[in-house]
Structure 1
Amino acid sequence: MSRANDDLRALIRTIPDFPRPGVMFRDVTTLLLDAKGFAAAIDRIARSIETKPDLVAGIEARGFVVAAALALRLGTGLLLIRKDGKLPGATIGEDYTLEYGVDRLAMHIDACAPGARVHLVDDLIATGGTALAAVRLIARAGAAVTGASFVIDLPDLGGAERLRQQGVAVQSLVVFEGD
């Protein structure tokens, strides 16, 4: 997006060499600590959504925070996309590849009705593996992902573009290039 979100960018802390040397970790928790900044982020994401969804889906864990606030702002339900084994009822799951292995996301099998319009939210999009798994999971439930919003995009890692290639409209508030 434009420089209009530089106020939010200034609230995001960068931690060098985490979780390993050479990585510049973009920490959204410092934005969440700032009440005005957090509210502004949620309002800006809400205004960018053209058609009200039936549900806002949040990806564990920081995505839950953003998705819950956005769902309240939009007046929708909240769909939780969790790491496998964290939900108590019957679930469906979707595997995705990590740098050094495979992980799995899950949601309750009855969490969204077929035909539901779902807006996907997370704090950050990097390679897109987790977000793409969430899109596949929601589609398996018979729902449609109408768009995806992220506070932070790391475009050099290609995740937002991978989502767009799957037909998902992607918006981010702050872009950190070169990381």
Structure 2
Amino acid sequence: MEHGPVDTSPVSTDRTPPLDLASADVARLIRWADDFPTSGVRFADLTPVFANADAFRDVVDALVSVGGDADLIAGIDARGFLLGAGVARAMNAGVLAVRKAGKLPPPVLGRSYSLEYGTATLEIPADGIDLQGRRVLVIDDVLATGGTLGAAAELLEAAGAHVLRIAVVLEIEALRGRERLPAHPLTSLLKV
């Protein structure tokens, strides 16, 4: 099954130039890998987008444009780290790495979830960072089934944060992940 641009409009009805630029860059540079990481999965590799300086800048600018008054950017392991750091720097906000299980020293808060090819757990520090009342923009590279983003939002809210918005570079509409995230505004730079 061939994927291509379907609808590049974000959730918001007002299009801004950063969103248009980023959408075009992603559509042009994305690399698809069939049967990865398991048979039947078509992996969206955004590495070529991030490796292109202009495209990476456009993607970060687009994510910043939807960040509102977030004071903390939560980037999801691992490509969300790259995006989250760039967006946090541009917004003068803090950045929090939402890690896969076993990557942080205890104590941690965790949330398990299912994804299109298995199960996983996300974790954040249980102490050392006060998340109470923090306004958070959650960022990841791809929205597939919504399990990862849903778990991240639940985890942050359980720690006392307020998730303002979720933003992704690419949304794979056929997997209907958006339906698992009805409580949060969601922006996708490109939908396929």
TM-score normalised to the size of structure 1?
Answer: 0.89
Is 1:12 paired with 2:19?
no
String of CA shifts for 1:78-125, please: whole Å, max 9, x gaps.
011111111124211111124565321110013342111111000101
Helix, strand or coil for the counterpart of 1:18? coil
**Structure 2: how far apart are the matches of 1:159 and 1:141?**
23
List alignment gaps of at least 5 residues for structure 2.
1-7, 10-18
What residue number does 2:137 align with? 119
What percentage of aligned pairs have identical amino acids?
A: 39
Q: Report 1:1-179 matches (<5 A).
A: 1-2=8-9, 4=20, 5-49=23-67, 51-99=68-116, 101-110=118-127, 111-163=129-181, 165=182, 167-176=183-192
Size of the aligned set, in residue pairs, is 173
- Note closer, same or farther for the CA distance 1:99–1:44 as it changes in structure 2 (3 Å cut): closer
**In structure 1, what is the Cα distance between the partners aligned to 2:81 and 2:154?**
18
On the 8 A contact 1:96/1:102 being kept in 2, the answer is: yes
The whole-number CA distance in structure 1 between the counterparts of 2:118 and 2:60 is 33
| Moved segments of 4+, more than 6 Å | none
Matched-pair contact (CA < 8 Å) for 1:79–1:112: no
Query: What corresponds to 2:3 in structure 1?
Result: none
Aligned counterparts of 1:96 and 1:22: Cα–Cα separation in 2: 20
Q: Distance in 2 between matches of 1:47 and 1:144?
A: 19
Counterpart CA distance in 1 for 2:91 and 2:173 is 27
Residue type at the aligned position of 2:43: F
Distance 2:49 2:117 in 1: 30
What secondary structure sits across from 2:160 in the alignment? coil
Q: Which structure would you say has the larger RCO, counting Cα contacts within 8 Å and 6 or more residues apart?
A: 2
- Larger deviation: 61-70 or 12-21? 12-21
Give me the whole-angstrom Cα distance separating, in 2, the residues matched to 1:11 and 1:99. Answer: 24
Call closer, same or farther: CA 1:100–1:149 in 2, change over 3 Å. Answer: closer
Equivalent residue letter for 1:138: L
Q: Which residue of 1 aligns with 2:4?
A: none
Alignment TM-score, normalising by the size of structure 2: 0.84
- Aligned CA RMSD, in angstroms, stands at 1.7
> Within 1, Cα distance between the matches of 2:42 and 2:120?
23
Corresponding residue SS for 2:105: coil
